[in-house]
Amino acid sequence: MNPDSLSEQRALLQAVLGAGDAAALSAYLPKEDTVRQRLSLRGLQAYRANGHALAERALAATYPVLAELMGQENFSALARHFWTEHPPLCGDMACWGDALAEFVDAAPQLADEPYLPDVARLECLMHLVASAADVETDLPSFALLVSGDPMPVALVLGAGVALLSSSYPVASIVNAHLLGQPTLQQAGQLLQEGCAEHALVWRQGFRPCMRSCTAAELQLLQGLIAGEPLLDALEALSLSEGGDAPAFDFNIWLGEAVQAGLVCAARQVPTTKAKG
Amino acid sequence: MDRLVPVTDLPALTTGIGWRHPHYGQLLEEQPELDFLEVHSENFFAQGGAALSVLQQARANYPISLHGVGLALGSVAGVDPWHLDQLAALVERIEPVRVSDHASFARGAWNGMTVHAADLLPIAFHRHSLDVLCANVQQVQERLKRRLLIENLSAYVQFSSSDLSETGFLAELAGRTGCGLLVDVNNIYVNALNERIAGATDDPVTTCMNWLDQIPPHAVSELHLAGHQDCGDIVIDDHGSRVCDQVWQIYGHALARFGSVPDGLATLIEWDTDIPVLQVLLGEAARARALQLPAGEKAMA
C-alpha cells in the first residue's frame, strides 16, 4: 500500500483534538516495535496536554473575568471541553475563542448564572478592540462640522468601537473585576436588582476601554458605526428621545468623545438619503 | 516606518534571541547588542494595536526574523490562504531578515470543517508527504517572493510508513524547492534522547552529530538553541531552560560544519516558557558567540 499522508494526518489530528482513544492512530504507528509504539502513544499524550494547556492559557487571557467568576478549576474544564468541541480554525490563536459565549450559553451546568454569556461577549469585544486597525486622530477635520458645506459629514470612530446591549449589568460586572470600579458589592447589587446595561468598548491609544453607556449614546453610536451621516444619526436620535431620560447633549458628548479617543475625525460622505 | 536597520551587510555569523512579551519594554529601552530579534509571526497578525507598534519600534533598531508556528506547511489540506495573506502583509510591513516555519502539519478535516491543531504535528518521511511539503513551500515562496527556511521538528509520534531518513527528506526538500534549512540543534538532541528511550541509540550526542553530517551545508542558514525537559518516559522540547552542555557540544559540531556557508549562519536562543530575566538570554547569546569565534576565523580564511 502506498503511504497516504491524508489518512495519517487525519488519524493524528483526530487523536490530538479528540477526547477519545487513539485506536485509529495505532494503525499508522510501528506495529512490531512495541517500545516505539508505546513512546508514540506517550507522545500523543504530550500533544493533547499541550493543546489543553494552550486552550486554557488563550481563553484565560481573553476572558479573565469569566475565569474569575467561574473559578480556576471550572474554567480550565470549560476550556478543555471547548477545545475539543470548537478547535481553532486558523493558525492564529488570537482568533480562537469567539464562540465561547454561545458555548457558555448552551451549557446546562451554567444556566444558573445567565449573565455569564454576556460577560464573555463583552470580554471578547475587549479582546478584539486591542488588535483593531489603528485610526489616526485628525483634529482639524472637525472644522467640517461648522463649515456649512452642503455635503453630509460623518464621524470617524476610534479603533474597534463596539457595543453590547445586555439584560444584565455586564459593564459593571466586568469593570468591577478589572478596575475595582464599581466595587464587586455594587456590581452584585445591580445584578440582584435586575439592572440592564449597554456597554461601549473602544481604545484610547493602545489601551482597551469599556464603560456603560446610555440608550441615546448607544443609538447614536449604532448609527455612526453603520456609517450614517451625523445629521441623520442625530435626527433619528431626536425622534426616539422622550420620557424621563435626560436630553442627549451632542456638543458635550462630542468633546468628551474626542478626548477619550472614541471619535477621531470628521469626514465628508456622499448623500445617502433622498430628502423629501 | 521612517528608518530601518539594513538587513544586508550583516556579519557572516549572527546571533539573536527570541523576543517575547516579558522583555518588550526592557529590550526597547536598553537596546542590547544583538544581531537580530526573532518573533513568532502569528503574534503580529493584528491590523493594529500595541503589539504591532512595539514590533515596528524594534525594527527601527534591529533586523527581525519572522519565525512562524502556524503555516502548517506539511498539511495535505494545504496552506490557509488567510494565514498566507497575513504573513505576506507582515513581511511587507517589517521587511524581515529571514522568514521561517516548520516541517510539520496542523491543518486537516475535522467534523466537516478544516481546523488547525495549533501545534507542530509531525509528518511521515515518505514521497507523498515530501511532495505535499514541497508544493506548500513553493506556494509560500512564490507568494512572498523570497526564500523560506524550514525547521526540523522534535517529533513525539513516528509513522510506520516513513521510508526516508529525516535528513534525506530535508535535503531533498531544500534541493527541490530552493528553500533553506533551519536546523534546531535542541530538536535533534531531543529526538535522539527519545531514540535512546526507544533503545535505538546509546550515544545521543554522536547520533546528533551524524544527523548534522548528513545535511548539505549550503542549505543551512540558521541554527536554533533551546532547553528541554526530561519527563522520564519522554523528553519534551519545552524551550523552558538553559541550553544543556550536550546541545552546546553539538552546536560546536554544527558550527564547524555550517559556519562557513557563503550566505552566513544565524544562531537563535529560544526561550518560550518560564521566561527568565533578559540578562539570562543575553548570557546564552554571549556563550553562542564565544563558540562561534573559531568558526568565524575559518569563514574569514
What are B9-48's pLDDT values in tens digits?
Answer: 667 999 999 999 999 999 999 999 999 999 999 999 999 9
- Gap from A6 CA to chain B (nearest CA, Å): 6
pLDDT above 50: residue B134: yes
Contacts of A263 (CB under 8 A, 6+ apart): A155, A156, A157, A158, A254, A257
Q: For B106-129, what is the mean pLDDT?
A: 96
Cell numbers found for residue A69: 467568576
Answer yes or no: is the ipTM higher than 0.90.
yes
- Name chain A contacts of B20, Cβ cutoff 8 Å: none
Residue in chain B lying closest to A27 (CA): B160
Q: What per-residue confidence (pLDDT) applies to A46?
A: 96
Q: Which residues of B191-210 are buried (b: 16+ CB within 10 A; e: fewer)?
A: bbbbbebbeebeebbebbbe
- B277: burial class by Cβ within 10 Å (0-12, 13-18, 19+)? exposed
Contact between B183 and B222 under an 8 Å Cβ cutoff? The reply is yes
For residue B126, the number of C-alpha atoms closer than 13 Å in the C-beta half-sphere is 15
Interface contact B47-A131, CB threshold 8 A: yes
Residue A152 phi/psi, 5-degree rounding, is -60, 150
Interface contact B156-A44, CB threshold 8 A: yes
Interface contact A5-B123, CB threshold 8 A: yes
Interface contact B132-A203, CB threshold 8 A: no
- Estimate to the nearest angstrom the gap between the alpha carbon of B153 and the chain centroid: 9
Interface contact B117-A16, CB threshold 8 A: yes
Chain A within 8 Å of B117 (Cβ-Cβ)? yes
Question: How far is B19 from B266, CA to CA, in rounded Å?
Answer: 15
C-alpha to C-alpha distances, B257 to A132, A181, A191, B149, B268, nearest whole angstrom: 46, 61, 68, 18, 17
What are B189-211's pLDDT values in tens digits?
Answer: 999 999 999 999 999 999 999 99
Contact between A162 and A224 under an 8 Å Cβ cutoff? The reply is no
Cell numbers found for residue A89: 480554525
User: When comparing pLDDT for B297 and A264, which is higher?
Assistant: A264
pLDDT above 80: residue B142: yes
Question: How far is A76 from A54, CA to CA, in rounded Å?
Answer: 11
Interface contact A31-B160, CB threshold 8 A: yes
Mean pLDDT of chain B: 95
- Estimate to the nearest angstrom the gap between the alpha carbon of A205 and the chain centroid: 18
Interface contact A91-B72, CB threshold 8 A: yes
Number of helices and strands (H, E) in chain B? 9, 12
Question: How far is B183 from B160, CA to CA, in rounded Å?
Answer: 24
**Segment holding A157, helix H or strand E:** strand A153-157
What are B61-91's pLDDT values in tens digits?
Answer: 999 999 999 999 999 999 999 999 999 999 9
- Beta strands at B265-269 and B235-236: parallel, antiparallel or unpaired: unpaired
Residue whose C-alpha cell reads 483593531 in the numeric block: A132
- Name chain B contacts of A136, Cβ cutoff 8 Å: none
* Domain segments of chain B as ranges: 13-300
Neighbours of A111 (CB within 10 A): 11
Q: Which CATH architecture has domain B13-300?
A: Alpha-Beta Barrel (3.20)
Interface contact A89-B163, CB threshold 8 A: no
Beta bridge partners of B231: none
Cell numbers found for residue A257: 468623545
* Most A CBs within 10 Å, among B21, B73, B93, B116, to test the A interface: B116
- Gap from B158 CA to chain A (nearest CA, Å): 6
Interface contact A16-B118, CB threshold 8 A: no
CB pairs under 8 A between A and B: 172
Which of A4, A92, A134 comes nearest B48 by C-beta? A134
pLDDT in tens, chain A (276 residues): 467 899 999 999 999 998 566 788 999 998 888 898 899 999 999 999 999 999 999 999 999 999 999 999 999 999 999 999 999 999 999 999 999 999 999 999 999 999 999 999 999 999 999 999 999 999 999 999 988 777 899 999 999 999 999 999 999 999 999 999 999 999 999 999 999 999 999 999 999 999 999 999 999 999 999 999 999 999 988 877 666 667 789 999 999 999 999 999 999 988 755 544
